[in-house]
Amino acid sequence: MSCASRDKEGGALRQALTAAALAAGLLSPALAQTPAEPKPQPAPAVKLAPPHIADIPNDDSGKQIMLGMRLLAETKKLLPDNVASALNCDSCHLGNGRVANASPYYGMAVNYPRYNARAGRPVTLIERINGCLLRSMNGQTIAVDSAEMKAMVAYLDWLSAGLPPHAKVEGAGVGKVDANLVPDAAHGKQLYDAKCAECHGSNGEGLKNAQGEFVVPPLWGDESFNIGAGMARTYTAAAFIKSNMPIGYGLNAPLGQGGALTDQEAVDIADYFTHQPRPDFPPKVNDWPKGGRPKDARY
């Protein structure tokens, strides 16, 4: 199959799904008039089908998109003043944000602004990016009108081009684990030592290459994400590692990720490593001003 024909198919698929979504939207008022109690029909989820990097236009707009992609992948290196941890955006949004259940960027641009319980108000995409810089990267926000922010938004917009507003994407987020499972941190440590330490280090210190740059992010300590990050929450981290860790584990494209842990194992490991020492986040006092604090929040 040629690249072009696949894209055509992908486009056709998206069109079909969009049509289906529109049809559902048109039908729902009719449904609402029926005597039975009205149930709003959720829009069908859209397949995760981001465009290919090879098809980024080879012009100035493409240059900006490519810059945005690089900033998200090499955030620490390219924005050293804004990133205090050793992480990049792509440390959690694996594979350029194109991968299911690895917190894909695909679909984000059409879902913001959206209500955020932690903030207690709707937040914009730019605020969301800056939130990640403050928490996961334990750093500083970047200016809304800076070339870097515009480039990151350009990449996110390009990824989601053609998606209907508020499209729900299959594989959005980090997957799920059973949040009723009771964590066993001691077992989590055993599992961590056996299954995670080879890459992330016995002390969660991550792994550097010969040039001293991190190639595997640290999971705790001064150079890791702070206590305000989503990844500091046990069940969020558990879902992420169950879906994605380790990468290069199976023959499944694109990353060979996941398939190594049960829900309970993931919860145990997550409880162990999220509760290791990590930077504080003083503005945490402003979080969840209207309630809705999740049970695994760290404060």
Partner 1 sequence: MARLARYCACLVLAATAARAEPPAADAVERGRYLARAADCVACHTAPGSAEFAGGLAMPTPLGRIYTTNITPDPETGTGSYSLADFSRALREGVAKGGRYLYPAMPFPSYAKISDADMQALYAYFQHGVAPVKQANRRSGIPFPLNFRFPLLFWDAMLRRGPFRPDPGRDARWNRGAYLVQGLGHCGTCHSPRTFTLHEKALTERDGPDFLAGAVINGWYAKNLRGDKDGLGRWSEADIVNFLKAGSTDRTAAFGDMAEVVQHSTQYLTDDDLAAVARYLKSLPPRAGEAAGLQAAAPAHEDVRRGKAWYDELCMTCHRGDGGGMARIFPALAGNDVVQTADATSLVHIVLSGGRRPRTQARPTAFAMPAFKTLNDREIAQIVSYIRTAWGNSASPVSAEQVAKMRATFNDAEAAR
Q: Least distance to partner 1 from the beta carbon of 276, Å?
A: 22
Look at residues 75, 78, 87 and name the one whose alpha carbon lies nearest to residue 219.
87
Measured distance CA(199)–CA(188) in Å, rounded: 16
Q: Are 247 and 94 in contact (CB under 8 A)?
A: yes
Nearer to partner 1, 101 or 130 (CB): 101
The yes or no reply on residue 252 touching partner 1 (CB under 8 A) is: yes
Nearer to partner 1, 73 or 153 (CB): 73
The yes or no reply on residue 69 touching partner 1 (CB under 8 A) is: yes
Query: Which of 254, 277, 289, 292 lies at the binding interface for partner 1 (CB under 8 A)?
Result: 254
Take residue 181 and report the two structure tokens written for it.
């499972």
Window 38-67: contact mask with partner 1 (x via CB under 8 A):
--------------xxxxx-x---------
Query: Which of 26, 182, 253, 285 lies at the binding interface for partner 1 (CB under 8 A)?
Result: 253
Q: Least distance to partner 1 from the beta carbon of 41, Å?
A: 33
Take residue 76 and report the two structure tokens written for it.
């620490």
Which residues, 256 to 295, sit near partner 1 by CB under 8 A?
256
Nearer to partner 1, 88 or 130 (CB): 88
Name the one range near partner 1 by CB under 8 A: 35-43, 158-166, 195-203, 275-283.
Answer: 195-203
Name the E strands within the chain. 114-116, 121-123, 207-208, 214-216
Which residues, 77 to 106, sit near partner 1 by CB under 8 A?
90, 94-96, 98
Take residue 221 and report the two structure tokens written for it.
């300590």
3-state secondary structure of 165: coil
Take residue 67 and report the two structure tokens written for it.
């810059």
Nearer to partner 1, 133 or 216 (CB): 216
Q: Least distance to partner 1 from the beta carbon of 89, Å?
A: 13
Measured distance CA(191)–CA(177) in Å, rounded: 17
Nearer to partner 1, 147 or 207 (CB): 207
Look at residues 9, 22, 8, 10 and name the one whose alpha carbon lies nearest to residue 164.
22
Contacts of 298 (CB under 8 A, 6+ apart): 227, 228, 232, 233, 274
Nearer to partner 1, 2 or 34 (CB): 2
Query: Which of 25, 80, 250, 289 lies at the binding interface for partner 1 (CB under 8 A)?
Result: 250
DSSP string spanning 16-81? HHHHHHHHHHHHHHHHHHSSSPP-PPPPPPBP--PPPGGGS-SSHHHHHHHHHHHHHHSHHHH-TT
Which residues, 211 to 240, sit near partner 1 by CB under 8 A?
211, 215-216
Residues that bind partner 1 (CB under 8 A): 1-3, 52-56, 58, 69, 73-74, 90, 94-96, 98, 195, 198-199, 207, 209-211, 215-216, 246-256
